[in-house]
C-alpha cells in the first residue's frame, strides 16, 4: 500500500465518522416518537403522576364516579367506575370536540358539561347538545398485574354505532 492510499483512507475515515453521526442524528429526528408499546398501552397516572392500581382506585372512588387520569398522549381521560363498583372497560377523553377545552364531569346533572360554549355529553361521553360536533373520544381500559392501562380504541363507537373518528 502506498503512502497516498493510506492518507486517502485516513481522510475518508476522518470525514465518514462525524458525517455518519450527523446524518444519523438528522434521520433520528425525522422519526416520530412512539407513545408506547405495540399493544400494551400506557399506564394510567393520577394528578400527581403516580401509576394507578385498580385496587387502590376502587378503594377511593365509589360506583358512578368519573375522575380524571393521565391517558393516551398525556390527554386527560376519565376513569369510569360502573354502578357495580368495577372499572369500566373504557375511558372517556376529556378534551371537548368543539374547541379543545377540558370538559368537567357534573355529577349533579350526570353528564359532562363544557364550560366554554355549553356543549354537553351524556355519562358515556356521547354528545347530546352542541356546538360540539362529535362525541368524546374513547380509550380501552385494561388491568394488568393490578395496574390500570389505557390503549387505543380503533373499534366502532358503541355509543353511536359509527366508526371511531379519533382512530
Residue 69 is inside which H or E element, if any? strand 66-70
> Residue 38 above 50 pLDDT?
no
Quickly state the pLDDT bin for 132 (edges 50, 70, 90). Answer: confident
> Which ranges constitute the DSSP H helices of the chain?
3-30, 54-60
pLDDT in tens, 43-76: 889 888 888 898 988 898 888 889 999 988 888 9
Question: Once rounded to an integer, what is the mean pLDDT over residues 78-105?
Answer: 89
Question: Once rounded to an integer, what is the mean pLDDT over residues 30-51?
Answer: 74
Q: Omega into 102 within 30° of 0, i.e. cis? A: no
Beta-bridge partners for 42: 150
Q: Please, are residues 94 and 121 in contact by the beta-carbon 8 Å criterion?
A: no
Residue 151 is inside which H or E element, if any? strand 147-151
What distance in Å separates the CA atoms of residue 74 and residue 35, rounded to the nearest whole number?
9
What distance in Å separates the CA atoms of residue 44 and residue 68, rounded to the nearest whole number?
10
* Mean model confidence pLDDT for the chain: 86
> Residue 34 above 70 pLDDT?
no
3-state DSSP assignment of residue 63: coil
User: pTM, whole model, 2 decimals?
Assistant: 0.73
Residue 153: burial class (beta carbons within 10 Å; 0-12, 13-18, 19+) = buried
pLDDT given for residue 97 in this prediction:
87
Amino acid at each position: 500500500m502506498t503512502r497516498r492510499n493510506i492518507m486517502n483512507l485516513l481522510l475518508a475515515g476522518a470525514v465518514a465518522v462525524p458525517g455518519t453521526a450527523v446524518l444519523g442524528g438528522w434521520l433520528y429526528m425525522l422519526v416520530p416518537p412512539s407513545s408506547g408499546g405495540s399493544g400494551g398501552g400506557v399506564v394510567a397516572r393520577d394528578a400527581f403522576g403516580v401509576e394507578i392500581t385498580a385496587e387502590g382506585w376502587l378503594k377511593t372512588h365509589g360506583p358512578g364516579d368519573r375522575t380524571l387520569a393521565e391517558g393516551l398522549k398525556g390527554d386527560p381521560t376519565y376513569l369510569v367506575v360502573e354502578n357495580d363498583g368495577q372499572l369500566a372497560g373504557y375511558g372517556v377523553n376529556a378534551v371537548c370536540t368543539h374547541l379543545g377545552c377540558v370538559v368537567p364531569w357534573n355529577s349533579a346533572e350526570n353528564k359532562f358539561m363544557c364550560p366554554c360554549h355549553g356543549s354537553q355529553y351524556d355519562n358515556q361521553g356521547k354528545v347530546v347538545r352542541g356546538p360540539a360536533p362529535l362525541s368524546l373520544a374513547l380509550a380501552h381500559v385494561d388491568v394488568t398485574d393490578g395496574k390500570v392501562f389505557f390503549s387505543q380504541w380503533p373499534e366502532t363507537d358503541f355509543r353511536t354505532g359509527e366508526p371511531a373518528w379519533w382512530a
